[in-house]
């Protein structure tokens, strides 16, 4: 009930519904539908548009959504439905609708985005490696299950009748006096403008584009929610993000991102709930009173101008918040966010642990976020998260607390890895012993796959490009020697490096390992620095071979080719793996298009009058034509930031949906 109330109050705050409408829905829920969520009741009563509710929930839980109109028109192949049995679908209110079979990614619609166990259950029952979640209302999913599994094509008609079933008199009595009741049909209601936005736009010169003024204020900030269980935090999130919208594009969502990481670090440091709460509030407010000409962080101490700005604006929070009756702990945190760990900060020159812990956490995260979003960086191959973290690490003990930096790394380390990251399969049953080692791999930008089963390891190889295998000798169902022999004699896997990492270290075992085809053998306990060095060396050699192979392939085709001989998706993947830079020019009939690569990353695409992702999604559908890779062509401005793998997955999904429609 608490969660229902929180969602309802957020809808009131965003002016989707009135307080009276929320109370009526809660009363209806209590009397007639205790198992039903308040959002669905609001839709059924006609107080709320289904799309508005989905947009709000999607922003709150950071998830994409599908409407009932979309699901009712969708065609789902039977083999995809067979991946999840009907009994499971009905029990957990889940519907599979698309999959990218090559990458083993299954797309499903769910109604419980906070259920952490559900993705694992779906993986187990479907056999797929990843689950891509989309949100829909529970009643919508029930109707979709009835239609797609049971061929009940009247299910969505009944759902629409249900959503029109609110008593007209009751709807009118709770609707705002000066505004019509919200239409319960599945229409786009983005033309509604909140009163708050009118007031703000009268006073502030808005940097938002003119076409965006048709959107409600809630539409601008719904995707930036911290996902807090506290209504005050949600309202604070809205207010701060409104202010940041008017400060400029780079500020948009800054405080919400800082608050999210601050919250995770506070939890990882086992702080009390109240302390975490104060830190989150401080994170939201740390920047809102800064009217400085640029974003300030502890890194601003690197320049004389930055030091002068800090001295000028560091006390802004105290002057502005002293009448706001904030908790004293929050005021103290805000007042000391520019203290340096070495004691040379401002305003009081506090040192080390003298600085409030919340201030130390916020200062570290704020500087990290500053490097990600406010610094102009040259195009570089290094992962931006890794580069930003390493920069923060270089100021350890000078500006930042080493303990906080360590916790920051734990929170963000998965972002060190992207689709270009080398992949290593580790076959070992002792996962606890390998936790530190896995952390070291991620720190080096290496994606580890850990399993205790050689059959599962083989399945990983089938679906993923792997650079190296590290294995114990005592594995199941194949022992390590047999598994190594299988890898080294398989035509597809024989070039993958293989290292034995085992407690069995007598000379006979070592000899047997090399006879099976192993590239190296290390005994436990091992020197982690030496092992990481060996792994990096194997990866460099393997990467060099891949690049040489890609170069030979390109030369063989004379940097030109025919799409009848090679699929465009495979061509793009080859250029990405080979870290190519240049323009892939495509020609078909009277049409032409371009895909721009920088070091293997797709940065833009152009086709007819479109560019970016839209142009890429059209070009990926070409089944015939000619291509030429021009490495000397001028690159365009970057308009695409997604990874190659995600671009291909999303393009295939959209194409499949359009064909179904």
CA-based torsion, 605, 606, 612, 617: positive or negative? negative
Mean pLDDT of all residues in 64-93: 86
pLDDT over 80 at 485, yes or no: yes
Instruction: Say which residue, 530 or 361, is predicted with more confidence.
Output: 361
Residue 210 pLDDT = 35
Pairwise pLDDT comparison (188 vs 155), residue with the higher score: 155
> What is the rounded average pLDDT for all residues in the chain?
79
Q: Report d(CA 282, CA 255) in Å as an integer.
A: 10
Q: Examine the pLDDT at 607 and tell me if it is beyond 70.
A: yes
Mean pLDDT of 225-239: 59
Determine the Cα–Cα distance for residues 317 and 311; give it in Å rounded to an integer: 13
Fold equal for 225-413 and 423-548: no
The bridge status of strand 447-451 relative to strand 626-630 is: unpaired
**For the segment 102-114, what is each residue's pLDDT rounded down to a tens digit?**
667 888 999 988 8
What does the pLDDT read at residue 562? 79
Q: How high is the pLDDT of residue 372?
A: 85
Helix (H) / strand (E) element for 530: namely helix 528-556
Sort residue 174 into left (φ over 0), alpha (ψ -120 to 50) or beta.
alpha
The whole-model pTM stands at 0.50
Q: Which fold has domain 423-548?
A: Rossmann fold (3.40.50)
Indicate if the pLDDT at residue 422 is higher than 80.
Answer: yes
Question: Up-side HSE of residue 277: CA atoms within 13 Å toward CB?
Answer: 12
Name which residue leads in pLDDT, 556 or 199: 556
Q: Which CATH number fits domain 225-413: 3.40.50.740, 3.20.19.10, 1.10.3210.10, 1.10.238.10?
A: 1.10.3210.10
Position 548 scores a pLDDT of: 63
| Residue with more model confidence, 578 or 406 | 406
pLDDT at residue 318, rounded to an integer: 67
- Give per-residue pLDDT as tens, 180-206: 333 322 223 222 223 333 332 333 333
Residue 625 has pLDDT above 90, yes or no: no
- Of 185-189, 385-389, 460-464, 582-586, give the lowest mean pLDDT range: 185-189
Mean pLDDT within 233-262: 78
Of 123-132, 245-254, 473-482, where does the model show the most confidence? Answer: 473-482
Burial of 648 (0-12, 13-18, 19+ CB in 10 A): buried
- In the chain, where the domains are located: 2-174, 225-413, 423-548, 557-660
Look at residue 421 in the predicted model and tell me its pLDDT: 80
Q: How confident is the model at residue 322 (pLDDT cuts 50, 70, 90)?
A: low
pLDDT at 547: 60
Of the candidates 235, 213, 215, the residue with the CA atom closest to the CA atom of residue 226: 235
Whether the per-residue pLDDT at 320 is higher than 70: the answer is: no
């Amino acid at each position: 009930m608490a969660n229902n109330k929180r969602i309802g109050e957020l809808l009131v705050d965003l002016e989707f519904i009135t307080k009276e409408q929320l109370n009526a829905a809660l009363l209806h829920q209590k009397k007639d539908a205790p198992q039903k969520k308040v959002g669905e009741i609001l839709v059924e009563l006609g107080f709320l548009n289904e799309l508005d509710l989905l947009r709000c929930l999607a922003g709150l839980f950071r998830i994409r959504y599908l409407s009932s109109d979309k699901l009712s028109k969708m065609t789902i192949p039977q083999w995809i439905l067979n991946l999840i049995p009907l009994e499971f679908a009905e029990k957990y209110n889940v519907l599979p609708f698309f999959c990218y079979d090559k990458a083993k990614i299954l797309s499903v619609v769910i109604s419980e985005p906070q259920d952490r166990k559900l993705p694992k259950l779906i993986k187990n029952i479907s056999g797929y490696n990843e689950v891509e979640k989309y949100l829909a209302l529970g009643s919508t999913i029930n109707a979709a299950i009835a239609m797609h599994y049971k061929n009940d094509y009247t299910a969505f008609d009944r759902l629409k009748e249900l959503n029109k079933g609110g008593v007209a008199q009751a709807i009118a009595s709770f609707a705002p006096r000066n505004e019509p009741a919200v239409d319960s049909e599945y229409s786009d209601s983005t033309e509604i403008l909140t009163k708050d936005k009118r007031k703000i736009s009268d006073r502030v010169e808005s940097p938002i584009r003119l076409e965006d003024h048709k959107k409600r204020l809630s539409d601008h900030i719904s995707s930036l929610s911290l996902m807090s269980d506290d209504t005050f935090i949600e309202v604070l999130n809205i207010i701060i993000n409104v202010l940041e919208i008017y400060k400029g594009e780079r500020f948009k969502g800054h405080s919400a991102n800082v608050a999210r990481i601050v919250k995770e670090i506070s939890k990882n440091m086992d702080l009390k709930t109240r302390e975490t709460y104060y830190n989150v509030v401080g994170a939201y407010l740390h920047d809102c009173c800064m009217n400085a000409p640029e974003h300030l962080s502890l890194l601003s101490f690197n320049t004389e101008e930055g030091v002068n700005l800090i001295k000028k604006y560091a006390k802004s929070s105290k002057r502005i918040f002293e009448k706001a009756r904030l908790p004293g702990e929050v005021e103290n945190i805000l007042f000391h966010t520019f203290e340096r760990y070495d004691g040379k900060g401002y305003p009081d020159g506090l040192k080390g642990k003298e600085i409030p812990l919340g201030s130390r956490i916020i200062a570290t995260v704020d500087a990290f976020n500053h490097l990600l979003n406010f610094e102009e960086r040259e195009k570089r191959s290094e992962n931006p998260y890794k580069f930003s973290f390493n920069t923060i690490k270089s100021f350890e003990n000078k500006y930042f607390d080493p303990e906080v930096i360590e916790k920051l790394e734990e929170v963000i380390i998965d972002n060190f890895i992207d689709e270009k990251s080398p992949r290593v399969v580790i076959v070992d049953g002792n996962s606890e012993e390998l936790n530190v080692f896995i952390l070291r791999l991620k720190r080096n930008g290496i994606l580890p796959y850990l399993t205790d089963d050689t059959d599962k390891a083989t399945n990983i190889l089938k679906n993923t490009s792997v650079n190296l295998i590290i294995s114990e000798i005592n594995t199941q169902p194949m022992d390590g020697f047999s598994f190594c022999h299988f890898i080294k004699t398989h035509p597809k896997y024989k070039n993958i490096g293989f290292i034995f990492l085992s407690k069995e270290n007598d000379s006979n075992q070592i000899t047997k390992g090399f006879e099976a085809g192993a590239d190296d053998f290390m005994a436990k306990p091992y020197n982690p620095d030496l092992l990481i060095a060996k792994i990096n060396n194997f990866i460099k050699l393997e990467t060099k071979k891949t690049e040489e192979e890609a170069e030979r392939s390109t030369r063989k085709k004379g940097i030109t080719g025919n799409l009848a001989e090679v699929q465009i998706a495979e061509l793009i993947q080859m250029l990405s793996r080979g870290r190519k830079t240049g323009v892939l020019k495509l020609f078909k009939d009277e049409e032409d298009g371009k895909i721009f690569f920088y070091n293997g990353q797709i940065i833009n695409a152009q086709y007819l009058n479109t560019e970016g992702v839209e142009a890429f999604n059209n070009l990926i559908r070409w089944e015939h034509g000619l291509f030429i890779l021009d490495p000397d062509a001028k690159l365009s401005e970057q308009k695409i930031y997604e990874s190659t793998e995600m671009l291909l997955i999303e393009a295939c999904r959209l194409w499949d949906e359009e064909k179904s429609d």
